[in-house]
Structure 1
Amino acid sequence: MDERWLQKQVRNCLRHYGYDEEMMPLSDNEWHSLCAHIAAAKEEHRGANVYELVHDAVYRFLTGA
């Protein structure tokens, strides 16, 4: 899965949740971790909607779950 495309999807989702990337930028490690989590979830659940997986991962990231 293309990591740049996933980052774009994650950015859009973060905006949806009101996250201000300029005030609290994500580190390279956080970006990689989020994208890796989404890609792994997609491998595990091939029929899952990527947009739902992105929202799940971002929600977990923001809530610390």
Structure 2
Amino acid sequence: MEKKLIIKMIKNCFKQYYSEVDSLPMNSKDLEELADKIIQIKVEQPAVDLYEAVNDTVYEFLTG
């Protein structure tokens, strides 16, 4: 699975929550960790939709 695609999806997902802000509310290390977490979810649960995994992970990051 391409990490670049997942990072792009994460950034797009954040835009839904922070449409007026140009920068992400996280550093690059956090972004990499989120991408790794999503990749791990897809490895453990291949039936999970990638879009759903990204949205759930970003939501958990924002509310956690």
TM tier, smaller: 0.7 to 0.9
User: Mind listing any 5+ residue stretches in structure 1 that lack a counterpart?
Assistant: none
Coordinate RMSD, CA, aligned: 1.6
Percentage of identical aligned residues: 30
Equivalent residue of 2:18, what SS?
coil
Query: Which residue number in structure 1 is paired with residue 27 of structure 2?
Result: 27
Q: TM-score, normalised by structure 2?
A: 0.85
User: Mind listing any 5+ residue stretches in structure 2 that lack a counterpart?
Assistant: none
Which stretches of structure 1, 4 residues or longer, exceed 3 Å deviation after superposition?
Answer: none
- Alpha-carbon deviations, 1:4-57, whole Å to 9, x = none? 111110011111122634273x21210111001000000111011000000000
Aligned residues: 63
Q: Write the distance in 2 (CA, Å) between the matches of 1:56 and 1:27.
A: 19
